[in-house]
Chains A and B, each alone.
Chain A
Amino acid sequence: MSSDIMMLLIKSLGQTLYMVIISMLIASALGIPLGILLVTTAKEQILQCTTFNRILAGIINAVRSIPFIILMVAIIPFTRLVVGTSIGTTAAMVPLTIAAIPFIARQVENSIKEVPYGLIEAALSLGATPAQIIRHVLLPEALSSIISQLTTVIIGLIGASAMAGTIGGGGIGDLAIRYGYQRFRPDIMLITVIILIILVQLVQFIGNYIAFRLNKK
């Protein structure tokens, strides 16, 4: 294999990692709090506020129901507003982040819902504030499960990032389409597929490992 192609692969891999990592970080920073709010503002929960809860759940469901490829195009004006351009790797991160936020929120919600209500009661009986319950009970107790769920989100993002090629995002998926498919290079196609498989396996393995280590149940 020529060193040109090698360089191309490394560059594409870098773009994929860049897109996935940055959008994952930003989406987590927004999605995790939203997930917490989804649980805690529900009926008979520590921050009960059912109207807010219903609106939030509605928005999250709405965004989740938009296919990524359409979301990407639909929010082009917003993307331009945020990063100044609508094409390129950085521009691709905006729709990736937007798509990941509701995904993360729902996954975190599911994880936190698994924390037995008895633990919240015990904390309440000890005089804990809602913020303390979130910080010292809900998050630590759900952490292992949240990590597992976030692993799924990362894998989803790796998949979605392949579509980012359509708006010039680059990355491994884009390489596969442009070289492997459009330029009839089955060797490059094969290598990109292998890299993607390894990447996904690696993420899954690390995620499982951390989740396992954190689980004291």
Chain B
Amino acid sequence: MIKLSHIKKIYETPSGPLQALKDVSLTIEDGDIYGIIGLSGAGKSTLVRCINMLERPTSGTVEIDGHDLTKMNNRQLREIRKNIGMIFQQFNLLSSATVYENVAFPLKLSGTDNKIIEKKVTSLLQLVGLQPKAGQYPSQLSGGQKQRVGIARALASNPAILLCDEATSALDPQTTQSILKLIRRINEQLHLTVVIITHEMQVIKDICNKVAVIDHGVIAETGSVIKVFTEPQEAITREFISVLLSDELPSAFRNQPISPTPIEAGYLLLRLTFIGENADEPVIMRLIKEHPGIDVSILFGDLDQIQMIPYGRMIIGIKGPQAAVTAASKWLEQQDLKAEVIGYVKRHNDAVD
């Protein structure tokens, strides 16, 4: 377990002290893939570097399995760092060493026997799918391959924790997917605790089980990914999510004024969110059956998965006699799903069906 308590980090800069982290507390359980998301300059890198003490917090404690790293001397820190692998956005491979030598590097540092090194490096290269590249230099590899070498190197000393600082930010979307898959496989096979720093909600959604949103050196929100996705509490979180979830209305409704009260010839718009089991329920069908007086139009729909849990979103418009519309809206709110009233909107006059 990684436990950060009341971490503060102040950088002394020419223009005065800069508070990069302001009282950050986080608990990361064993086996978590814990995402930390924030905008540029939010303090993500500073935070993750506090976990292995590449950056010493100005105050607060960093505990790993109950041992406080802030109280350790350099020698103890070097020992514990062997238990914490780290990968970087810029890969940080030795350009003068081959793939094999890069992966062997941590083992060489701890004076491991060459025979054992060879076995270990071979199996790691196999794990990351780079065996044929053993003799090549990093400059001969693609970005994705370089990060695989970075991962193999980080795993060489059998760490229990893997820190990833923007590990996929320099990669294209497809390569990002393959690296994330590899990280998840490692998390499952080797029971590694993974901490992922990113500014992309997609990465969090694809691989993390828990997430912390950091904003200007403060943790704005934490929780399970599905919870934070479906019930974001903070504006900054909603902003990150909105990048992923386009819920654009059809052009006939776009840019129309939204009224909280019924309007003449208006549609009542509702945003429905289905999570897990209820994603399969035929709610719309029942809505129409039980409320014969109304028209229901589906304006937007999207089905996705977060953490293998089906997650559907829909925007519907209801039109009809006011009493029936209100009843339908009430009925929806009683169902096993999240129904959120957006408001009453008119179609564009010039819009055609």
The residue that A217 contacts in the complex, of B52, B108, B139, with Cβ under 8 A, is: B139
- Given A126-B153, A127-B106, A128-B109: A119 and B94 interface contact (C-beta under 8 Å): yes
Stretch at the interface among A79-87, A137-145, A176-184: A137-145
- CB pair B94 A137 closer than 8 Å: yes
- CB pair B92 A116 closer than 8 Å: yes
- CB pair B94 A141 closer than 8 Å: yes
- CB pair B81 A122 closer than 8 Å: no
Interface class of chain B by DSSP: mixed
Give every chain B residue within 8 A of A129 (Cβ-Cβ): 78
Give every chain B residue within 8 A of A144 (Cβ-Cβ): 96
Say yes or no: is B105 at the interface (Cβ < 8 Å to chain A): yes
The residue that B110 contacts in the complex, of A116, A119, A127, A136, with Cβ under 8 A, is: A127
- Given A125-B84, A127-B78, A128-B78: A216 and B109 interface contact (C-beta under 8 Å): no
Question: Shortest distance in angstroms between A129's beta carbon and chain B's nearest beta carbon?
Answer: 7
Question: Shortest distance in angstroms between B164's beta carbon and chain A's nearest beta carbon?
Answer: 12
Question: Shortest distance in angstroms between A47's beta carbon and chain B's nearest beta carbon?
Answer: 12
- CB pair A216 B95 closer than 8 Å: yes
The residue that A122 contacts in the complex, of B79, B88, B110, B137, with Cβ under 8 A, is: B88
Say yes or no: is B298 at the interface (Cβ < 8 Å to chain A): no
The residue that A125 contacts in the complex, of B54, B90, B110, with Cβ under 8 A, is: B54
- CB pair A141 B81 closer than 8 Å: no
Say yes or no: is A160 at the interface (Cβ < 8 Å to chain B): no
Say yes or no: is A51 at the interface (Cβ < 8 Å to chain B): no
User: Interface digits, B107-124 against A, CB 8 Å rule (1 contact, 0 not)?
Assistant: 011100000000000000
What's the Cα separation between A26 and B288 when bound, in Å? 93
- Given A121-B54, A136-B109, A216-B139: A127 and B82 interface contact (C-beta under 8 Å): yes
Give every chain A residue within 8 A of B109 (Cβ-Cβ): 123, 126-128, 132, 136
- CB pair B105 A126 closer than 8 Å: yes
Say yes or no: is A75 at the interface (Cβ < 8 Å to chain B): no
- Given A125-B54, A137-B94, A140-B94: A216 and B82 interface contact (C-beta under 8 Å): no
Question: Shortest distance in angstroms between A81's beta carbon and chain B's nearest beta carbon?
Answer: 41
Q: Which residue of A lies closest to B110 (CB)?
A: A127
Question: Shortest distance in angstroms between A144's beta carbon and chain B's nearest beta carbon?
Answer: 8
- CB pair A141 B95 closer than 8 Å: yes
What's the Cα separation between A121 and B52 when bound, in Å? 11
Give every chain A residue within 8 A of B137 (Cβ-Cβ): 216
Q: Which residue of B lies closest to A130 (CB)?
A: B74
- CB pair B97 A124 closer than 8 Å: no
User: Interface digits, B68-101 against A, CB 8 Å rule (1 contact, 0 not)?
Assistant: 0000000001110110111010101111110000
The residue that A140 contacts in the complex, of B92, B97, B139, B157, with Cβ under 8 A, is: B97
What's the Cα separation between A141 and B97 when bound, in Å? 9
Q: Which residue of A lies closest to B136 (CB)?
A: A216
The residue among A123, A127, A143 with the most chain B CB atoms within 10 A of its own CB is A127
- CB pair B106 A116 closer than 8 Å: no
Question: Shortest distance in angstroms between A127's beta carbon and chain B's nearest beta carbon?
Answer: 4
What's the Cα separation between A116 and B82 when bound, in Å? 22
- CB pair A126 B92 closer than 8 Å: no
- CB pair A125 B52 closer than 8 Å: yes
- CB pair B81 A126 closer than 8 Å: yes
Question: Shortest distance in angstroms between B160's beta carbon and chain A's nearest beta carbon?
Answer: 14
Say yes or no: is A203 at the interface (Cβ < 8 Å to chain B): no
What's the Cα separation between A22 and B330 when bound, in Å? 94
- Given A126-B105, A126-B157, A128-B109: A214 and B88 interface contact (C-beta under 8 Å): no
Give every chain A residue within 8 A of B93 (Cβ-Cβ): 119, 122
Give every chain A residue within 8 A of B81 (Cβ-Cβ): 124-127
What's the Cα separation between A141 and B92 when bound, in Å? 12
Give every chain A residue within 8 A of B86 (Cβ-Cβ): 122, 125
Give every chain A residue within 8 A of B110 (Cβ-Cβ): 127
- CB pair B108 A136 closer than 8 Å: yes
- CB pair A118 B88 closer than 8 Å: yes
User: Interface digits, A100-120 against B, CB 8 Å rule (1 contact, 0 not)?
Assistant: 000000000000000010110
Identify which of residues 142-165 in chain A touch chain B, using a CB-to-CB cut-off of 8 Å. 143-144
What's the Cα separation between A126 and B54 when bound, in Å? 11
Question: Shortest distance in angstroms between A128's beta carbon and chain B's nearest beta carbon?
Answer: 5
Identify which of residues 24-81 in chain B touch chain A, using a CB-to-CB cut-off of 8 Å. 52, 54, 77-79, 81
Q: Which residue of B lies closest to A124 (CB)?
A: B54
- Given A124-B81, A126-B82, A127-B79: A118 and B94 interface contact (C-beta under 8 Å): no
**Contact residues of B with A, CB < 8 Å?**
52, 54, 77-79, 81-82, 84-86, 88, 90, 92-97, 105-106, 108-110, 137-139, 153-154, 157, 163
| Given contact pairs A118-B90, A126-B82, A141-B96, a sample of 18 additional A-B residue pairs in the complex whose CB atoms are under 8 Å apart | A119-B93, A121-B92, A122-B93, A123-B109, A124-B54, A125-B54, A125-B85, A125-B86, A125-B163, A126-B81, A126-B153, A127-B78, A127-B79, A127-B109, A127-B110, A128-B109, A136-B105, A136-B108
7 residue pairs A–B, Cβ–Cβ below 8 Å: A127-B82, A128-B109, A140-B96, A140-B97, A141-B95, A216-B95, A217-B95
Give 3 closest A-B pairs by Cβ, nearest first. A122-B92, A118-B92, A125-B86
